[in-house]
Structure 1
Amino acid sequence: MSITGQKTTDTARHGTGTGTGTGTGTGTGTEKDLPPRERLVQAASRLFYYEGVRAIGVERLIAEAGVTKATFYRHFAAKDDLVVAYLQTKDAYYRQVAEPLAAAHPPAEAIDLIFEAIAEHARERGFRGSPFMNAAAEYPDADHPVRALVTSHRDWIRGLFREQLTRLGHADPASAAGALLMLYDGAMAAGYLDDQTAAHKTLLDAVRLIRSEG
């Protein structure tokens, strides 16, 4: 299961959808049947992830989504509001994958399975790293709503790990959770830049070392 919920087709990887960039796009697959707001979020998910946030303007977004400019501004006051909505969908999907694993398994197994899901995601065709870290790199202002959402997402991950480590009886769950969060960040980068098979083994070995230290 993809941890981001983003289908990585050839079309999605290149961020072209079926829009033409002229305002006549109609989205991909069944997207044309979605409400306009959802079509905009779907288009943003493709374009922002594969081409970057700053590189994509409102005209390109409305072309990909097959909506009018008036419809865009009816749902989003500015492009940054759509960036937040895009990241909210990613955050929600990560939670839908990770939280059931944490609830259904003993803590050590839950931690391993969460990282297995991350490693699986990093092996997907078209993987380009964490959508949250990618977005944060384009928003240097730490007080910006996009950065606030990135921080909230990372705080949730840290808290999820801390909860599992506490259940496991780790001697210092807060510090170990911080270490696992750093591994998570590193796994997202290594999955894009390094040999994925080697990165997978290194990641899981490091996870087991950290969770067993306590």
Structure 2
Amino acid sequence: MTDTMTTAATSGGRGARERILKATVELFARDGIHATGIARLVDVAHVSTRTLYQHFPSKEALVGAYLERLESEPGGPAQIETVLLCEDLAPRDRLLALFAAPPVDRASGQVVRGCPFHNTVVEAAGRMPDAATFVERHKRELVATLIATAEAAGAADPEELGGQLAILFEGARALATSLNDPQPFEDARGLATTLIDSAIGRPL
């Protein structure tokens, strides 16, 4: 195979869109949207700049596709929220599992990035209205899932408990990111246990 043919095979063709999306999830979630330039994206995705723009004509279009992939990526940056859908766990256990501290490899210089949806809205700073609408819808669905899980757990007031846990969860994520330390998740889990057990009438 000639060099020209090799370049064509790696920079475009079938699978180019998928490689771009995988690179986007990896880089945007880890390094941030603004810090990830197009040159870095095409390098990691093994595509040409032309190919990238053929699939995603603008940065906003790429961010929109990134957000959609976050919701469906198995084992991806947003996986922690899917524990609420694990039917092999009791509802109370699902609620508590949401507060598991994320693993952080300090030796490799890994940092706590927090919620990729929240981070996207912060970085967009009003310049990407479609992204903001997407994240708002996602967060409302998260709260609704928390309320439904709280009801399944037997909470006397599932809407109140679901709302409280949403605030606690989002707060833990934000503080862990600011401190670059997963400890806020451990602290939040203790508070969540108290809230949940009080709401379902379990002895404290």
Equivalent residue runs for 1:128-167 within 5 Å: 128-141=113-126, 144-167=129-152
Bigger mean CA offset, 151-160 vs 55-64:
55-64
Cα shift at 1:114? 2.6
Which residue of 2 is the match for residue 4 of structure 1?
A: none
Which residue of 1 is the match for residue 89 of structure 2?
A: 105
Residue identity opposite 1:111 in structure 2: L
Distance 2:197 2:45 in 1: 48
Distance 1:47 1:178 in 2: 31
Identify if the C-alpha distance between structure 1 residues 34 and 187 changes in structure 2 by more than 3 Å, giving closer, same or farther.
farther
Which residue of 1 is the match for residue 4 of structure 2?
A: none
Provide the secondary structure at the position in 1 that maps to 2:132: helix
Q: Is the 8 A contact 2:146 2:162 kept in 1?
A: yes
- Which blocks of at least 5 consecutive residues in structure 2 are unaligned? 1-6, 200-204
Cα shift at 1:81? 1.4
Identify if the C-alpha distance between structure 1 residues 195 and 72 changes in structure 2 by more than 3 Å, giving closer, same or farther.
closer
Which residue of 2 is the match for residue 69 of structure 1?
A: 49
Cα shift at 1:100? 4.0
Cα shift at 1:198? 4.0
Cα shift at 1:75? 1.4
Aligned length: 181
- Which residue, out of 178, 184, 192, partners 2:177? 192
* Per-residue CA distance 1:2-39 (angstroms, 9 max, x = gap): xxxxxxxxxxxxxxxxxxxxx9xx79xxxx99811121
User: Structure 2 length normalisation: TM-score?
Assistant: 0.75
The structure whose Rg is larger is: 2
User: Structure 1 length normalisation: TM-score?
Assistant: 0.72
Cα shift at 1:90? 1.9
* Per-residue CA distance 1:98-149 (angstroms, 9 max, x = gap): 2442x22221112112322xx2x2x323232211111110123287111122
Equivalent residue runs for 1:47-62 within 5 Å: 47-62=27-42
Percentage identity across paired residues of the two chains: 25
Which residue of 2 is the match for residue 12 of structure 1?
A: none
Give the alignment's Cα RMSD to 1 decimal: 2.9
Distance 1:204 1:40 in 2: 36
- Which residue, out of 148, 165, 173, partners 1:180? 165
Which residue of 2 is the match for residue 36 of structure 1?
A: 16
Provide the secondary structure at the position in 2 that maps to 1:213: helix
Which residue of 1 is the match for residue 194 of structure 2?
A: 209
Q: Is the 8 A contact 2:173 2:185 kept in 1?
A: no
Cα shift at 1:193? 3.6
- Which residue, out of 56, 76, 80, partners 2:60? 80
Bigger mean CA offset, 192-201 vs 154-163:
192-201
